[in-house]
Structure 1
Amino acid sequence: MRAYQVPEIDIPPAFVECEKPEPNVGETRVKIACCGLNFADLLMQKGQYQDTPPAPFTLGMEIAGTIDTHGAGVSGPKAGTRVAVFGGQGGLAEYGCYDARIVLPIPDAMSMAEAAAFQIAYGTSHLALGYRAKLKPGETLLVLGAAGGVGLTAVEIGKLMGATVIAVARGADKLEVARKAGADHLIEADVDDLRGELKALGGVDVVYDPVGGDLFKAAFRACKPEARILTIGFASGDVPKVPANHLLVKNIDVLGFYWGGYLKFKPEIVTDSLRELFDWYEQGKLKPHVSHLLPFEQAADGMELLRARKSTGKVVIEVTPQEA
């Protein structure tokens, strides 16, 4: 089979021919249809992600496909069932083997591209806003990087949870995508005085931040007393320092959130969350946004779209061409 692998840290990934993996006890082998790309794929190539596997490794954290076969000790679902999996790596390959407990059937109406774009982005926002920040109806939610893979789902889910949503993104096109996802207020990321704009809107109860850097600092200064700041990631490359004395004075909480980490110590909350999100999709409450669907041969182009921040929502690679 073909796979898109990182041979060594800081060496560009390339296509290789390798053996089709055999499922171990408790595993399911999936024929991969689509793979969603994530900013973490870029960090892994440089060894900068917290869960970077040892090289060589295959990129691609989340996939959708069909069950091919099971290893010993796994009874179902049957071969051909459409499923989605968050595996953490290995998705940019024609087949992958995964712990059967994290292989989830997907709704009939959901396309493979949508399913490959769904788990990390929606799962992150759902658990971060609900489980960690305990966002309440009527509160004001600020989403930084609001047109990105996770940011756009935070806008959508925040609105479903009854919040007033302020979206911050770079450029009119990205802000329009956030507006269509439900944002009530739109602010250009390059505005001269972001703190002033946020204070004029009454301040912020919850901050959803996958960006870091100067945007974090401005958002921090616009927080109301008892606000909660979710640190989701640092796409800016700048990990901000938090003035602990200001936390004390304003009674602010800064909450770290790493969705994949919960699979190691509370996997049930991840799978329960995803089942609820799939139900919301079936009810028409969620509309995954895939800005680019590229063939397997253009995996490098997909990575470059993320690196250059030219995508909105998700970039998905079609590993196996799908019938119309």
Structure 2
Amino acid sequence: MSSHAWLSHSLNDGRVACDACHHHCKLHEGEYGICGVRKVEEGKLRLLVYAKAAAAHIDPVEKKPMFHFLPNSHVFSFGTVGCNFSCQFCQNYDISQYPKTKEHRIFGETLTPEMIVALALKQGCQSIAYTYNEPAVFFEYTYDTAKLAHEAGLKNIYVTSGYETHEAIDAIAPFLDGMNIDIKAFSQSFYKEVCGASLKPVLDTLTYAHQKGIWIETTTLIIPTLNDSDDMLREIAHFQANLDPAMPWHISAFHPTYKMLHLPPTPHATLTRAYAIGKEAGLKYVYVGNVEDSAHESTYCPHCHTKVIQRKGHLGEKVSNTLTQNGACPHCGYSIEGIWEKR
């Protein structure tokens, strides 16, 4: 199944320009974008994975990770094959890189936007997450689903590498409630050599989405020897603190995978060091992930320092929330920043 990838425009030389992500692919007839799932056919850009979900699950929202977004609720998560990045540490490489390694073949279960919304409601989910691969590459599929979900009272979350264009953010913003955006490193060479992308567009997307009023949390997967220096972590933390000190920063442990089997797992001491760096930079909310560490995955009130949300588990998925319905600390009344109510 294919669908018109309408976030695009025709050029005077006969090519079609894709406007979904910052790669800005300009394609001749028959050519594929970097993502492997957007292709020019009969003069129009087509989304080859429209309504084809390669993965679909019901998850705790904390798994995304989103810690300040309807805690202890369930989210319907889905994604397709294809990605505009080529991260050598990708934990979902079997679907994200599939078209690039399988001669542009695709696969997926038929799940229309209508079916996804119906399933999410039936299963008692409060939100839908566009995840597992990069939502920007299947943008029109996400747009149609998010619009229907919004009309049905569900919230929408992008789990993304942050390569969306302003045009994409402008289009989806009325229906998009939250984003978890990766800040993979604070290094252009890291992004170019390890991910096949650039740093500046990510920071630009993060800033622009924040200005649009979308609730944002960020994630940095800390990879030993590559992005784990104090200077690197401090640059990430200071950038984020200057943008919004209330924006949660998730620090995740790396486990060897894909093309980085030669590197060791992230030591726990590195995670707690990064946690301290984030706090020193002025971030109100810093969390560790992919490890068992309740002390560093729980939420503390920035005003009175009381633990207001306790989390346990590798993903912080075991939750005990003491906040009031509108997100206030029960001890001092401080309004913890986040999305706490369904409506």
TM-score (norm 1): 0.30
Structure with more helix by fraction:
1
TM-score (norm 2): 0.29
Structure with more strand by fraction:
1
